[in-house]
């Protein structure tokens, strides 16, 4: 590892030609468009998203689960319009943190940066729990050997730590193989169900957005219908789609790649999710799909997708899906792990977090930040394991409660990002202001995120099934506290380290014309 002091001056825009050799910079030119897409889409984890999130969406919206994915696709596509416009001007591993700092000020930006870094650690830990559940259930079904779920979880975290030390290209190769296999398996399953007409024929009802709210099929089976639960599952399926700017410093053509990768991942995943969820409810039958999920929760089968694969394709696909149900969440957790490390790296580089977090390994990976993520994610996994060490708890508690908090945090940050985009293009980048892409689209995107936050908070006890548990009861307050932790750090820096404070959010590979505006103290921060 290279011991490098935190840089106190901005790297000139023309330094992009030699960043591979700079120890406090990530490896330049390591990723092309396929590599970035693999990082983004595998972070969304199509197989994990479907095996876990479709049943959750059915719990809240019944057979209208595909419509929940449709609503999320529309909301995130609109949000992406302004997000991409800003990514063309501001290119940095800081992602949301950098965008919000540039638009709403340093105090709000640091609060968001700390919150989003912690959210990605929650995501990584939660998906490790999902992986542990499927690993434990699949290995037991194959061999009859029952191994504690925590063994799989900590083994996965150890392997992620080793991979994180090496060059980013090694990680993307693993993510790419997993992604291709996941998509193929889901397409084959969906084709089998749709080609045979499902259980009772194909209907347009599952695509009706109005059916998400107060779905009678869900209410009859689960005792209630909660649109917030359905939308949580849908938005959770896309977490990570915004990663393109986080990998900008390691991209060969960050401006072009950010746009293509973001739109491609949002729309492409949306189409895939709608097709697969439609195949799920059609394969079971509209009124029977909720009961199938209830049977899964009762332990009748490890996944309600497995009987569909058996019936409409064959047992071989069940085995393939069982394997991918282990590989996919591992790859997903590793993508979240990498993003959390890059947020910590960015915060350390700018002095918000301890300076050693900005040190890189000889492979130009964010080594210290990665090891820190290992410790924090390990602590989250350990805490949930101590609370409940059962195999099912890895899915229903660690795999559900942790992302509930994380999704609430990231939806809030996305709303702030929308407002930051508006203000940025009305002030520092007035020359690129456009009424549709940098005003109307961000306003609509912010409204959608705020609405989703409200529904998630209002329905959190339904999803968790444990309203009196402090983790769920005080979930909104904890998210606010995480944000305020960053705010406190920013206020301390403004008072004690004004030089470093002035540089916050300015480390970027693009937007050199806005240098003076980025350094100036915005009205809101």
Residue-wise pLDDT tens digits, 364-394? 778 889 999 999 999 999 999 999 999 999 9
Residue 301 in 3-state DSSP? coil
- Is 336 inside any structural domain? yes
pLDDT (0 to 100) of residue 164: 78
Is residue 47 one of the residues assigned to a domain? Answer: yes
Quote the pLDDT of residue 504: 84
| Domain containing residue 390 | 13-519
**Three-state DSSP string of 199-250:** CCCCCCHHHCHHHHCCCHHHHHHHCCCCHHHHHHHHHHCCCCHHHHHHHHHH
CA separation for the pair 160, 316 (Å, rounded) = 29
Average pLDDT over residues 418-425: 96
The encoded tokens of residue 441 equal 């689209």
Torsions phi, psi of 81, nearest 5?
-60, -55
Whether 1 is in a domain gets the answer no
User: What whole-number percentage of the chain has pLDDT above 90?
Assistant: 51
3-state secondary structure 403-414: HHHHHHHHHHHH
Domain-located, residue 29: yes
Angstrom CA distances, 482 to 279, 412, 422, 509, stand at: 39, 12, 25, 28
Predicted pLDDT at 451: 92
CB–CB of 116/96 below 8 Å? yes
* DSSP count for the chain of H helices, then E strands: 23, 0
Q: Considering the domain boundaries, does residue 2 fall inside one?
A: no
**Whole-number pLDDT of residue 468:** 79
- Phi and psi at residue 251, in whole multiples of 5°? -95, 150
8 within some domain? no
Domain count, the chain: 1
What is the chain's mean pLDDT, rounded? 83
For the stretch 308-321, pLDDT in tens is: 999 999 999 999 99
pLDDT given at position 192: 97
Distances in whole angstroms, Cα of residue 69 to Cα of each of 72, 386, 418: 5, 34, 21
Q: What is the pLDDT of residue 458?
A: 87
List the CATH number of the domain containing 450: 1.20.1740.10
Distance separating alpha carbons of residues 204 and 459, to the nearest angstrom: 27
Beta-bridge partners for 251: 31
- List 31's β-bridge partners, or say none: 251
pLDDT of residue 426: 95
Taking 90 as the threshold, does the pLDDT of residue 437 lie above it? yes
- At residue 471, the 3 state secondary structure works out as helix
Higher pLDDT, 432 or 9: 432
Per-residue pLDDT, 448: 92
Going 26 to 30 to 32 to 37, the CA torsion angle's sign is negative
- Is residue 3 one of the residues assigned to a domain? no
pLDDT above 80 for 209: yes
Q: Which of 66-70, 116-120, 223-227 has the lowest mean pLDDT?
A: 223-227
Which pLDDT score is estimated for 194? 96
Asked if residue 498 is part of any domain, the answer here is: yes
What are the phi and psi torsion angles at 452 (to 5°)?
-65, -40
Mean pLDDT of all residues in 147-155: 97
């Amino acid at each position: 590892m290279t011991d490098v002091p935190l840089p106190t001056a901005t790297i000139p825009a023309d330094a992009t030609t030699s960043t591979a050799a700079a120890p406090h910079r990530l490896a330049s030119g390591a990723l092309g468009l396929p590599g970035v897409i693999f990082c983004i889409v595998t972070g969304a984890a199509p197989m994990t998203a479907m095996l876990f999130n479709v049943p959750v969406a059915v719990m809240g919206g019944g057979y209208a689960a595909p419509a929940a994915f449709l609503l999320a696709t529309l909301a995130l596509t609109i949000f992406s319009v302004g997000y991409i416009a800003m990514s063309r001007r501001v290119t940095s591993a800081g992602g949301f943190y950098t965008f919000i700092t540039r638009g709403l000020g340093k105090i709000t930006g640091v609060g968001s940066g700390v919150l989003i870094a912690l959210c990605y650690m929650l995501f990584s830990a939660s998906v490790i729990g999902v992986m542990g559940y499927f690993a434990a259930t699949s290995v037991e079904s194959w061999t009859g050997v029952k191994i504690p779920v925590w063994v799989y979880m900590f083994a996965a975290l150890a392997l992620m730590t080793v991979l994180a030390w090496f060059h980013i290209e090694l990680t993307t190769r693993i993510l790419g193989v997993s992604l291709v296999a996941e998509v193929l398996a889901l397409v084959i399953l969906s084709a089998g169900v749709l080609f045979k007409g499902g259980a009772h024929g194909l209907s347009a009802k599952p695509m009706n957005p109005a059916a998400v709210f107060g779905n009678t099929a869900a209410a009859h089976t689960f005792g209630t219908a909660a649109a917030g639960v359905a939308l949580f599952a849908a938005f959770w399926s896309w977490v990570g789609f915004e990663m393109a700017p986080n990998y900008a410093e390691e991209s060969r053509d960050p401006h072009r790649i950010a746009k293509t990768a973001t739109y491609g991942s949002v729309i492409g995943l949306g189409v895939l999710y709608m097709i697969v969820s439609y195949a799920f409810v059609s394969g079971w039958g509209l009124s029977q799909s909720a009961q199938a999920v209830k049977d899964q929760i009762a332990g009748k089968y490890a996944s309600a997708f497995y009987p569909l694969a058996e019936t409409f394709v064959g047992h071989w696909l069940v085995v393939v899906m069982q394997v991918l149900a282990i590989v996919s969440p591992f790859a997903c957790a590793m993508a979240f792990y990498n993003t959390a490390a890059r947020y910590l790296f960015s915060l350390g580089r700018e002095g918000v977090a301890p300076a050693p977090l900005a040190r890189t390994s000889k492979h130009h990976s964010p080594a210290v930040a990665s090891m820190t993520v290992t410790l924090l994610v390990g602590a989250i996994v350990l805490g949930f394991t101590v609370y409940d060490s059962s195999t099912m708890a890895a899915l229903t508690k660690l795999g559900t409660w942790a992302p509930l908090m994380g999704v609430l945090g990231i939806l809030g940050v996305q709303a702030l990002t929308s407002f930051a985009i508006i203000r940025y293009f009305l002030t520092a980048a007035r020359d690129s202001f456009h009424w549709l892409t940098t005003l109307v689209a961000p306003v609509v995107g912010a409204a959608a995120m705020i609405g989703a936050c409200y529904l998630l908070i209002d329905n959190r006890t339904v999803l968790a099934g444990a309203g009196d548990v402090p983790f769920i009861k005080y979930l909104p307050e904890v998210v606010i506290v995480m944000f305020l932790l960053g705010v406190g750090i920013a206020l301390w820096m403004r008072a004690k380290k004004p030089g470093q404070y002035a540089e916050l959010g300015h480390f970027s590979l693009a937007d050199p014309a806005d240098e003076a505006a980025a350094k100036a103290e915005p009205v809101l921060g």
